[in-house]
Structure 1
Amino acid sequence: MATSSLDFTSPSVQFTYDLRNSVFYKKDDWNFIDVLSVNQLNTLGNSSLLDIFLTTGNVVEPHIHQNASELVYCISGGAVVSIMNPYTNQMLNFTIGPRQVANVPQGWWHYEMATTDDTHLLAVFDAPVPEVIFGSQMLRLTPANVLAHTYCLDESKVKDALAPITDTVIIGPPRGCQTGGQGSMPSSAYPQQHYYGQYPSSQNYYDSAYSQQAQVPYGYHPGVPQQPVYQQPAYQGYY
C-alpha cells in the first residue's frame, strides 16, 4: 500500500537508500543487521526489511513481530529458521539455502540460526516499520520472583541464571560468552554436508549441476523430525 499522505513533489521525497547508513544492530564485523523502513525511505509504503549477516552458530534470538509477517529469504550461506506454531504447539525447523525462503506469520515466536559462515538473509515485512519483542527483553524484564513462583523454581537460581542478561541480545550468543551458544550446541550437531554452504558459488549457482549437488531435501533439519514446509494451517491474519 502506497503512502498516500506523502507529497511526491517535495524535494525531500526519497527513492533510493544505502542500507550501510542504517545499522539496526552490530555484534561484530561479521554479525550485524541493517534496517530499511519508512523511517529511512519515505516512499517505501507498507513494507520494510532487515538485511542480516551471520556466521556459523550465531542466532537472531527468539522473538515475535506483533505487527507484521516475515518472509526470510536466503541470499547466501544457510540457516535454520525455527517457528513455534501456536495452533499445534509444535516447533517447526526449516533449513534454507540460497534462493529459498521460510515464512513466519504475524506474531509467531521464531528465531534464525546460521549454519555456515557468510550467511546473508533478507527478512521482508508487510509493515512500514516492523515492531519486535525479543526473548531477552521478556526474560530480563519479568521479575525473577514471578518466574520462580509461576514455574515452581528456586528464585535465587533464577536470578543467577538471568543476571548476565543486562541488555537485549538480538544476535546471540553475546560477545565474550564462555558457556552458551557453541558450548550448548556443538558444531557436530549441524554436519556441514546437511546445509547449503557447500553448494556452488554464486557465479555457478544457475548451472544445471546445482540441482545435483543438493545433499538433503529442502526443509530438512538434522536430528529433528522432517516437517513439510508448506503444510502449516492457512494463515488468517498476521519477525
Structure 2
Amino acid sequence: MAVSYMDFTSPNVQFTYELKNNNFFTKDSRNFINALSINQLNTLGNVSLLDIYLSTGNVVEPHVHQNASELVFCITGAALVSLINPFTKLLINIPIQPGQVANIPQGWWHYEMATVDNTHLLAIFDAPVPEFIPGSDLLRLTPASVFAHTYCLDEAKVKETFAPITQTVVIGPPKDCNASKVAGMAVHPYATAQAPLQQGGYHPQQPHGHRQQQPGFGYPQYPNSSVIGNGWEYGYGNFNG
C-alpha cells in the first residue's frame, strides 16, 4: 500500500473525478486520451491511469515511461501491444481483446495499436504521475547529423525522412499525414489471428535469430515474439494536466 500524507479530514479531500474533464490529447473524435493522476484526485496513492480511445490502425506512438510500469487492460475492441525486451533483444507482440491485459515493465520501449474500431484501453501506472519519453521527440530533436554519423546513414535522407515530425505525435499517424506515404500499411494479420503462446519467440521453420520483415507497421512475418491471447504519457513529460 502506498504511503499517504493526505489529511482525510480536510474539506479539500477528493474521492471521485470525471475523466473527461482532464483530456490529455485529442487527435479527433475517435482517437483521444484522458488522464488521471494525483493532480486531479488528491487521495490517490501510487497509481494513475490513462483512458485511451482508438480507431483501427491508430497507434499510441512508441515511447517509454521512465518512472512507472504500465498495465494495459482492453475494455472494448482489440489492440496489439508491442514492446522490446532490452535483455533478450526481442520484439514482443501481444494481441489483447476485452478482458485481457498486457504488462510493460518500467522503462521498456513499447507502443499500442488498435486493430478494430471503437477500441477502448485503460493504462494503469504504479506512479502518482507517470512520466513519458515519446519516440517522436527523440527523432525530431536529435540532429540528423548525429543519426547519420552514428549509424553510417545518408544525412540528407535522414533529414528528409524526419522533417515532417515537427511536434510530439502521441497518437499516429498525424491528422495531416499524406495518405500516399502510408499506402499499403495495414493492420498486421497476426494481430487478430488465433494465436497460441510461443515461448522463445522464434518461428519453428526459421533459423534461430532469423527475422523476415514485411511491409506495413514493421511486424515480423514470422513473429520474433511471444504472443498471448486470441488473435501501446503519451504527451509531454508527464501527466500534470
2:7 pairs with 1:13: no
Alignment of 1:127-206 (within 5 A): 127-179=127-179, 182-187=182-187, 189-190=188-189, 195=192
Q: Could you tell me which amino acid in structure 1 is paired with residue 22 of structure 2? A: S
1:173·1:181 contact (CA, 8 Å) conserved in 2? Answer: no
1:94·1:219 contact (CA, 8 Å) conserved in 2? Answer: no
RMSD: 2.3
Q: CA deviation at 1:183?
A: 2.4
2:198 pairs with 1:216: no
Q: Deviations over 1:149-205 (max 9, x none)?
A: 111112121111111111000000000211478525224x438xx63xxxxxxxxxx
Structure 2 residues without counterparts, runs of 5 or longer: 199-218, 230-237
Q: CA deviation at 1:224?
A: 4.0
Classify 1:53/1:70 alpha carbon distance in 2 versus 1 (closer, same or farther; 3 Å): same
1:173·1:180 contact (CA, 8 Å) conserved in 2? Answer: no
2-structure distance, mates of 1:97, 1:43: 31
Q: Which residue of 1 aligns with 2:108?
A: 108
Percent of pairs identical after alignment?
61
1-structure distance, mates of 2:222, 2:43: 42
Q: Could you tell me which amino acid in structure 1 is paired with residue 226 of structure 2? A: Q
Classify 1:98/1:182 alpha carbon distance in 2 versus 1 (closer, same or farther; 3 Å): farther
1:57·1:181 contact (CA, 8 Å) conserved in 2? Answer: no
Q: CA deviation at 1:39?
A: 0.6
Classify 1:70/1:157 alpha carbon distance in 2 versus 1 (closer, same or farther; 3 Å): same
Classify 1:219/1:81 alpha carbon distance in 2 versus 1 (closer, same or farther; 3 Å): farther
Q: Deviations over 1:200-227 (max 9, x none)?
A: xxxxxxxxxxxxxxx6146689944362
Structure with the higher helix share, 1 or 2? 1
Q: What secondary structure sits across from 1:71 in the alignment?
A: strand
Classify 1:78/1:150 alpha carbon distance in 2 versus 1 (closer, same or farther; 3 Å): same
Q: Could you tell me which amino acid in structure 2 is paired with residue 54 of structure 1? A: L
1:31·1:53 contact (CA, 8 Å) conserved in 2? Answer: yes
2:195·2:227 contact (CA, 8 Å) conserved in 1? Answer: no
2-structure distance, mates of 1:128, 1:104: 17
Aligned length: 209
Q: Deviations over 1:44-94 (max 9, x none)?
A: 110000000000000000000000000000000000000100011000101
- Normalising by structure 2, we get a TM-score of 0.80
Q: Could you tell me which amino acid in structure 1 is paired with residue 53 of structure 2? A: F
2:68 pairs with 1:90: no
Classify 1:151/1:64 alpha carbon distance in 2 versus 1 (closer, same or farther; 3 Å): same
Q: Which residue of 2 aligns with 1:227?
A: 226
Alignment of 1:52-131 (within 5 A): 52-131=52-131
1:48·1:124 contact (CA, 8 Å) conserved in 2? Answer: yes
Q: What secondary structure sits across from 1:146 in the alignment?
A: helix
Q: Could you tell me which amino acid in structure 2 is paired with residue 227 of structure 1? A: S
1:95·1:219 contact (CA, 8 Å) conserved in 2? Answer: no
Q: CA deviation at 1:2?
A: 3.9
Q: Could you tell me which amino acid in structure 2 is paired with residue 69 of structure 1? A: S
Classify 1:146/1:134 alpha carbon distance in 2 versus 1 (closer, same or farther; 3 Å): same
Q: CA deviation at 1:118?
A: 0.1
Q: Which residue of 1 aligns with 2:205?
A: none
Classify 1:153/1:228 alpha carbon distance in 2 versus 1 (closer, same or farther; 3 Å): closer
